[in-house]
Amino acid sequence: MNNEYHIPVLLKESVDGLGINPKGVYVDLTFGGGGHSSEILKRLSSGRLLAFDQDKEVFNHLIDDDRFELVYGNFNYLKNYLKYYKFTSVDGILADLGVSSHHFNQEERGFSFRYDAELDMRMNQDAILTAKQVVNEYSKEQLLDIFWQYGEVKNARKLVDVILLARANKTIRTTKQFVEVIEVCAKKYQEHKYFAQVFQAIRIEVNQELEALKNMLLQSAEVIKPGGRLVVITYHSLEDRLVKNFIKKGKFSGEVEKDFYGNFQRPFKEINRKVIVPNKEELERNPRSRSAKLRIVEKI
């Protein structure tokens, strides 16, 4: 495990939430520095663990264990990879949806407005779409859409107009240039919060995070055995809303569907009705965990 790469959030609570069967098959959808995976392996005997990550750099932190397999890929393709590794079903899935500390701290990846770097923001360095393309090539309507939906930016129209004007004169290539362009849109003393919203919106678009999350939740309902667990840690309201709706309704919007007898049609039941958040000690140790929310559900 590499804590310098990424400090695992709600480690004990999330792995406890899996209710691990020592002989079972488990999936860690976001390997990162391997913190959650290492803890799962400690609790397995003859069981197996399959982990996913779309960042090649995590392969520098591989766990040497015959019960463990690390997949270079997006959890968007969960079912396909399980089939490839000959797993027809699994006992539990853990998804820590946060962007790793490593990504924010690695200046050249362009995830943070604190550093000057190329506008990139790709979690998968083999992906084609970059933040620079979004900022410089997206239409007015596309930019409005992502800043409203993914950043919940209140003055999105002003923001987009400022971006369009700036890029008409010169390509916006770096995070520093971008911040200099958009800082006129931020309220005084709230600049950091504003930049965080804007950068979040672009990052979600570049990595298609919400579509991947939807696909993962739908596939999890198919591959987890009855009685198996799904454990999800979210970090912002957009993710959490999708997860909460899926848990309660079995879908992402609309009313809960009922069967012929009037029973709710949903794949999971809640284990923790009240969301689990980091305690005071964890917040002091890892301030980035402050927005984390943990939900645990069991396959019906």
**Whether residue 215 sits in one domain with residue 198:** no
Alpha helices (H) in the chain, listed in sequence order: 11-17, 35-42, 78-84, 101-105, 131-137, 140-149, 156-169, 175-182, 191-207, 209-223, 237-249, 280-285
Domain match, 149 and 273 both = no
Q: What pLDDT score does 5 carry?
A: 53
- 2 domain-assigned: no
| Residue 228 and residue 83 in one domain | yes
137 and 192 both lie in a single domain:
yes
pLDDT score recorded for residue 114: 83
Q: pLDDT tens digits for 208-251?
A: 999 999 999 999 999 999 999 999 999 999 999 999 999 998 98
Would you say 201 and 150 are in contact if contact means Cβ atoms under 8 Å apart? yes
Note the pTM of the prediction, 2 decimals.
0.91
Q: Are residues 111 and 88 both part of a single domain? A: no
DSSP class of 300: -
Boundary residue ending a domain (207, 231, 247): 207
Pair (80, 111) in one structural domain: no
Q: What confidence score (pLDDT) does residue 6 get?
A: 59
**pLDDT computed for residue 177 by the predictor:** 97
- Write the CATH number for 152: 1.10.150.170
> How far is the C-alpha of 278 from the C-alpha of 257, rounded, in Å?
33
The list of the chain residues with pLDDT below 50 reads 104
The total number of structural domains that make up the chain: 2
Distance CA 104, CA 268 (A): 33
What local confidence, expressed as pLDDT, does residue 107 receive?
59
Which of 168, 183, 207 terminates a domain? The answer is 207
CATH number assigned to the domain comprising residue 67: 3.40.50.150
Q: pLDDT value at position 54?
A: 92
